[in-house]
């Protein structure tokens, strides 16, 4: 992936975060951590009390049942994720915004959702009597030591942390993974070849929108869409005359990727129907999808390798669905309290000497990747 594409994808992710973002909706996959579901941590639709300072410790930002999150814990998440983005974009990225909400606020919202998820899963682990082994605790100790020792005195002071802060956060990661594994351990869904069938096609795509600098999609005018349709029909005429599909894609397509593979339910329904109706080497007519016009040529009606990979993906999806059912019932039973005054006062650290960005990757290096939810 080139740098421009990476930047665009990262901005797109930031724009998906809205105020009240879900406890399990942690889609900043840049760091490869837990992602998934639909429960609001703090907001009108959740079982949440919003208070100022009554009943909270001096640095408590929120409580979920018997678990709480402190300002130093949240600053570890926020500072590391902030610096990951600044590594790609530079510090001025946070001046941008959309719909009256700055990217800094969007990142804050995603961070509180992310840490709320992990803490809630750690509570679920306790309810399921999940504990960590001596070996797991040993790895966590080494990871915490490695990350903490990488910090400068200034970083430690500005985040307000100790080594025990990092150790506690890493243990919560491990418990979240462990309870996920326990709940899905006996889930073994049968996935047929037909259900997992994956085809491979070449595509020429004419999008019906433009993307601005912040990743927002701006719909094309009616005249522009009519012109795209004319181009798509012209492309088919060129193909019928024997012209090279890849060269036509290079000239006309809005997508850099020409050859793609997908299974059922993974693309626009009109595109799926057209693709699965083709034989090897056959070219479609112009396909109108939600995001524009497509011309596709079938390369393989049954890609064995991709189908096997899709089986694995579908199995993981079914397992996640089972876990989410258990998790959502658990979330509904919890009381959540937000210290709004302290939360509103949280801001990023804007200091050129605070550059730490590998909190998540150090954990994965020592303890393995976390499950995606």
pLDDT in tens, 315-346: 999 999 999 999 999 999 999 999 999 999 99
Q: Does residue 220 belong to any structural domain of this protein?
A: yes
- Say if residue 60 is in the same domain as residue 170: yes
- Does the pLDDT at position 34 exceed 80? no
Choose between 97 and 303: higher pLDDT. Answer: 303
Burial of 192 (0-12, 13-18, 19+ CB in 10 A): exposed
- Say if residue 219 is in the same domain as residue 116: no
Give the residue among 33, 84, 347 at the shortest CA–CA distance from 25: 33
- Say if residue 135 is in the same domain as residue 19: yes
CB 313 within 8 A of CB 17: no
Q: Which of 274, 301, 328 is the last residue of a domain?
A: 301
Q: Which residues pair with 336 in a beta bridge?
A: 48, 64
pLDDT given for residue 368 in this prediction: 87
pLDDT given for residue 372 in this prediction: 59
- Does the pLDDT at position 150 exceed 60? yes
Q: Which of 267, 301, 335 is the last residue of a domain?
A: 301
Q: Does residue 28 belong to any structural domain of this protein?
A: yes
State whether residue 183 is helix, strand or coil. Answer: helix
Choose between 88 and 216: higher pLDDT. Answer: 88
Q: What CA–CA distance (Å, rounded) separates 80 from 145?
A: 17
Whole domain around residue 206: which residue ranges? 198-301
- Say if residue 252 is in the same domain as residue 353: no
- The answer to which of 91-95, 220-224, 350-354 has the lowest mean pLDDT is 91-95
- Segment 267-292, tens digit of pLDDT: 999 999 999 999 999 999 999 999 99
- Segment 214-244, tens digit of pLDDT: 678 999 999 999 999 999 999 999 999 999 9
- Say if residue 11 is in the same domain as residue 109: yes
- Does the pLDDT at position 38 exceed 50? no
- Say if residue 224 is in the same domain as residue 129: no
Give whole-number Cα distances, 32 to 28, 89, 357, 370, 372, in Å: 8, 19, 13, 8, 8
- Does the pLDDT at position 53 exceed 90? no
pLDDT given for residue 190 in this prediction: 87
Q: Which of 262, 278, 301 is the last residue of a domain?
A: 301
- Say if residue 296 is in the same domain as residue 236: yes
- The answer to which of 51-55, 293-297, 335-339, 343-347 has the lowest mean pLDDT is 51-55
Give whole-number Cα distances, 186 to 190, 212, 366, in Å: 13, 46, 27
pLDDT given for residue 26 in this prediction: 29
- Say if residue 147 is in the same domain as residue 284: no
- Say if residue 173 is in the same domain as residue 245: no
Query: Which residue matches tokens 């462990």?
Result: 178
pLDDT given for residue 54 in this prediction: 52
Over range 75-101, report the average pLDDT. Answer: 88
Mean pLDDT of the chain: 86
Q: What CA–CA distance (Å, rounded) separates 270 from 4?
A: 30
Q: What CA–CA distance (Å, rounded) separates 98 from 78?
A: 20
Helices (H), the chain: 3-15, 71-89, 103-127, 134-149, 153-159, 163-184, 193-196, 222-240, 245-252, 269-276, 304-332, 340-344, 359-367
Q: What CA–CA distance (Å, rounded) separates 173 from 179?
A: 10
Cα 94 from chain centroid (whole Å)? 20
Q: Does residue 290 belong to any structural domain of this protein?
A: yes
pLDDT given for residue 46 in this prediction: 52
- Say if residue 276 is in the same domain as residue 363: no
- Say if residue 16 is in the same domain as residue 155: yes
Q: Does residue 193 belong to any structural domain of this protein?
A: no
- Say if residue 217 is in the same domain as residue 326: no
Ramachandran class of 100: left when φ > 0, alpha when ψ lies in -120 to 50, beta otherwise: left
pLDDT given for residue 7 in this prediction: 47
Task: Give the pLDDT band (50/70/90) at residue 45.
Answer: very low
Q: Does residue 372 belong to any structural domain of this protein?
A: no
Task: State the total domains in the chain.
Answer: 2
CB 283 within 8 A of CB 239: yes
Residue 283: count of CB within 10 angstroms of its CB: 17
- Does the pLDDT at position 50 exceed 90? no
Give the residue among 4, 11, 1, 2 at the shortest CA–CA distance from 217: 11
Over range 14-22, report the average pLDDT. Answer: 35
Q: Does residue 92 belong to any structural domain of this protein?
A: yes
CATH of residue 212: 3.10.50.40
- The answer to which of 40-54, 59-73, 101-115 has the lowest mean pLDDT is 40-54
Task: Give the pLDDT band (50/70/90) at residue 19.
Answer: very low
pLDDT given for residue 55 in this prediction: 65
Tokens in use for 82?
Answer: 């902030």
Q: Does residue 226 belong to any structural domain of this protein?
A: yes
- The answer to which of 43-47, 72-76, 176-180 has the lowest mean pLDDT is 43-47
Rg (CA), the chain: 24
pLDDT given for residue 74 in this prediction: 98
Give whole-number Cα distances, 61 to 119, 196, 249, 349, in Å: 13, 45, 52, 17
Q: Does residue 161 belong to any structural domain of this protein?
A: yes
């Amino acid at each position: 992936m080139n740098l421009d594409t990476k930047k665009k994808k990262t901005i797109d992710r930031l724009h998906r975060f809205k105020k009240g973002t879900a406890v399990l909706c942690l889609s900043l996959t840049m760091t490869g951590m837990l992602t998934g579901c639909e429960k609001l941590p703090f907001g009108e639709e959740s079982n949440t009390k919003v208070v100022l300072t009554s009943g909270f410790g001096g640095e408590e930002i929120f409580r979920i049942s018997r678990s709480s999150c402190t300002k130093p814990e949240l600053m570890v998440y926020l500072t590391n994720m902030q610096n990951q983005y600044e590594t790609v974009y530079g510090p001025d990225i946070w001046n941008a915004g959309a719909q009256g909400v700055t990217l800094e606020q969007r990142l804050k919202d995603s961070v509180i959702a992310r840490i709320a998820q992990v803490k809630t899963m750690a509570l679920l682990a306790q309810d399921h009597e999940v504990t960590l082994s001596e070996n797991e605790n040993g790895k966590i100790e080494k990871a915490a030591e490695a990350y903490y020792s990488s910090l400068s005195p200034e970083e430690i002071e500005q985040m307000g942390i100790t080594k025990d802060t990092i150790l506690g956060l890493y243990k919560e990661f491990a418990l979240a993974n462990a309870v996920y594994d326990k709940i899905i351990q006996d889930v073994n869904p049968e996935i047929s070849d037909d259900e997992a069938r994956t085809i491979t096609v070449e595509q020429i795509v004419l999008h019906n929108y433009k993307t601005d600098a912040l990743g927002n999609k701006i719909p094309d005018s009616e005249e522009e869409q009519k012109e795209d349709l004319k181009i798509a029909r012209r492309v088919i005429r060129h193909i019928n005359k024997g012209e090279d599909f890849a060269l036509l894609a290079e000239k006309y397509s809005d997508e850099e990727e020409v050859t793609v593979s997908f299974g059922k339910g993974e693309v626009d329904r009109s595109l799926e129907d057209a693709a699965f109706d083709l034989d090897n080497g056959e070219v479609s007519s112009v396909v109108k999808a939600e995001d524009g016009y497509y011309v596709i040529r079938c390369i393989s009606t049954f890609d064995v390798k991709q189908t096997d990979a899709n089986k694995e993906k579908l199995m993981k999806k079914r397992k996640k669905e089972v876990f989410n059912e258990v998790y959502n019932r658990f979330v509904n039973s919890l009381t959540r309290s937000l210290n709004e005054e302290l939360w509103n006062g949280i801001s990023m650290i804007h200091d050129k000497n605070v550059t730490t960005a590998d909190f998540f990757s150090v954990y994965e290096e020592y303890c393995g990747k976390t499950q995606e939810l």
